[in-house]
Structure 1
């Protein structure tokens, strides 16, 4: 049986892979591991529980709340709020754990469970493993210790979470957004109310799309994975910029006044320069993953900012930031972490800070993002191969070396085995798109021949 926890919680098709029974059992296990329910005399553990608007979130939330309360945990139900809001409230309210029900950018039939530890921090692998081991042990027959009477958890609706979180977002901005016209695409997701409210309180003239969730339309042709509607709306309304979230709003992409995409690398570049100017870019370092565009690395070198790169995944970016006391990091996909103000990627905060930079400099977003030039990047997935040999195959190693010689200092090659499928991802960057494509296709053929 495979590991339940993936790169970002437990996910699957709701009511097929992710059932009410699984949600309840995992929540009881999480209570025993994270809240240490019942181990402190007089201690009443508390959990914050939120969700995105997916229809399946309604029954999964009920299962999670039931599991936590049955384990003696008092539950604060904050309703539909972004993942970073649940993380923030877990920390600010001094809760023992937080639970978010969302499958992020995945299609509507999927859902997921993500746990946060005290302080609103993502779980280390060791904690996830303990929760899973505890769940499996009790699923196979080992009885739970169940409180009774006054020992069972109580459930409260915590409506103040919305205002508390929005006030936090607006309160940490370095300057207001007065005079800016901004289009927000909420992906019919968890930020449909939060993001427009935060931008409006910060002074922006806000136009909204993708902010009418009905439980079925999350991420459907909108949001950060479908920027077409946002591009058109920004141009139509003559807006200064547009901001797009994913379903749980832990990431943000943007478009400039002409409708051109501004990806996570460019957002990081803009924020890094602004934070250095303000003296808040600790140690003059920004953290990104190995999938960041080579143009980002060259831009940071040109600006005199050091770049540390990690494995793919915002959790690895966060681990590096916390280990070395750094302030800014993120991914090309739009997961941006500003550690002074958030414990995880926060799409609304990212969008606000990007807009604040536009407001304070008086420069259009296109000009600010022009600090870096995105080099053409070709990604090819090579399926049905033995991904475990990608770093040891002499044929693949020779093909990579030849590609790197051809590209020189103006290009880059990355071969990465998938974490969930029998495939290898081949990524090539070069100054010329045709060269990048040709090299990527040759490498893909080599991988297929050597590992197929």
Structure 2
């Protein structure tokens, strides 16, 4: 059934647009609070946010909703999404909330909810909350002494920094490493530089001057060119780019070359396997991960379990099948020994530990395999279902036949916009180009 408020990752949209308003935020706070009120203790919720101007508005509205139904509110201020998940568990909260639209522009925002164990809500719980939002919430208002309280938690930042530092092996520090860190003017702009510096690194920062409007603006993991330039300028050993809520990470090596999530996962999987710490016999990634990753893992006796696109699907498969490493090519890296969601800083620390242990440049450590030629086209359409068209289905079938068993073809509609993504990969780069262009042209013709 189609959702009215929740999407693939919480509630997201233009702040004060058609959906994400203070009224909705307050009602969401009331509904989610009622859903997670349990036992006879003072129920508590932790709320973190990124640096968007609209975060103040949404934070206040959520606080009003939660306190109205009797929940105490701990306001964390700017804090990475994975920090909110961790602090929900650490503080024994009944619910966690992150106000962020991740890598989207500043005028968007979103609300992500976490269960007491730090995992995101199930579809069933989200559906229950949606039903409650549109119901008569006023009949459940707390009275008198039962109304909740709210205050700023000034220690939360230190708690997360110490947690992140402890994920590095005890015998290691980062002394001798020159690191350029890009925080995307986002949620990690205070915690990430401190964590790296306290671990001994020489840290140079960009994207640490948020003004409410510059989050992800020409900085961060989705715009790494600023980081590439700074790494080359300073002759740094490595560049680390987080996104707006710091749940994804992209690496730049000492030569200024970008290392994507596939190479990143290959490094972690091989390193953990060598230490006997890798579970599941491999890792979990999406259908968009490069065929080169799958071949590399096979060559060292490891497997690749593929899921549909979305970090929540990666995590679901990891939990169901016992894997402890997973992620996406875009830089969502989930290391379930430490976190319940993607954590850009923790993932970066694991890669830095391999760099320190091997004593080799990042360009060597992070080039575990040669990528198979891969091409992705996004084809926009106005209406209808182009993939149901007979001509399009025929061209897709022909493309798959041309690629044969040595290639891959992935066709999928976007879950957030009227776009069909056409991706192919094969050792024959020319063939890949022809197949993708032919399919894209057929979709455009009928769309």
TM-score bucket of the superposed structures, by smaller chain: over 0.9
Are the aligned partners of 2:282 and 2:297 in contact in 1 as well (CA < 8 Å)? no
Are the aligned partners of 1:186 and 1:245 in contact in 2 as well (CA < 8 Å)? yes
Structure 1 segment 292-311 matched on structure 2, within 5 A: 292-311=289-308
Matched, 1:211 2:208: yes
After TM superposition, give the deviation of residue 344 of structure 1 in Å: 0.3
Give the corresponding residue for 1:45: 43
The worse-fitting range, judged by mean Cα deviation, of 172-181 and 107-116 is 172-181
After TM superposition, give the deviation of residue 123 of structure 1 in Å: 0.9
Per-residue CA deviations over 1:121-146 (Å, capped at 9, x if unaligned) read 111111111111110123xxx64311
Give the corresponding residue for 2:12: 11
After TM superposition, give the deviation of residue 386 of structure 1 in Å: 6.4
After TM superposition, give the deviation of residue 325 of structure 1 in Å: 2.1
Distance in 1, Cα, partners of 2:382 & 2:390: 15
Matched, 1:159 2:160: no
TM-score, normalised relative to structure 1: 0.94
Distance in 2, Cα, partners of 1:158 & 1:328: 31
After TM superposition, give the deviation of residue 432 of structure 1 in Å: 4.2
Q: Which structure 1 residue ranges, 4+ long, deviate > 6 Å from structure 2?
A: none
Give the corresponding residue for 2:122: 124
- How many residues get paired? 443
Give the corresponding residue for 2:133: 135
Counterpart of 2:200 in 1: which secondary structure? coil
The worse-fitting range, judged by mean Cα deviation, of 350-359 and 394-403 is 394-403
Counterpart of 2:218 in 1: which secondary structure? coil
TM-score, normalised relative to structure 2: 0.95
Give the corresponding residue for 1:401: 397
Of the three residues 168, 171, 182, the one matched with 2:163 is 168
Give the corresponding residue for 1:22: 24
After TM superposition, give the deviation of residue 159 of structure 1 in Å: 1.0
After TM superposition, give the deviation of residue 201 of structure 1 in Å: 1.7
Are the aligned partners of 1:387 and 1:417 in contact in 2 as well (CA < 8 Å)? no
Distance in 2, Cα, partners of 1:19 & 1:183: 37
After TM superposition, give the deviation of residue 388 of structure 1 in Å: 4.9
Counterpart of 1:292 in 2: which secondary structure? coil
RMSD: 1.7
Per-residue CA deviations over 1:165-192 (Å, capped at 9, x if unaligned) read 1101111112322211111000000011
Of the three residues 402, 415, 424, the one matched with 1:419 is 415
After TM superposition, give the deviation of residue 119 of structure 1 in Å: 1.1
After TM superposition, give the deviation of residue 269 of structure 1 in Å: 0.7
Distance in 2, Cα, partners of 1:19 & 1:378: 39
Are the aligned partners of 2:386 and 2:443 in contact in 1 as well (CA < 8 Å)? no
Distance in 2, Cα, partners of 1:304 & 1:143: 58
Of the three residues 366, 370, 379, the one matched with 2:367 is 370
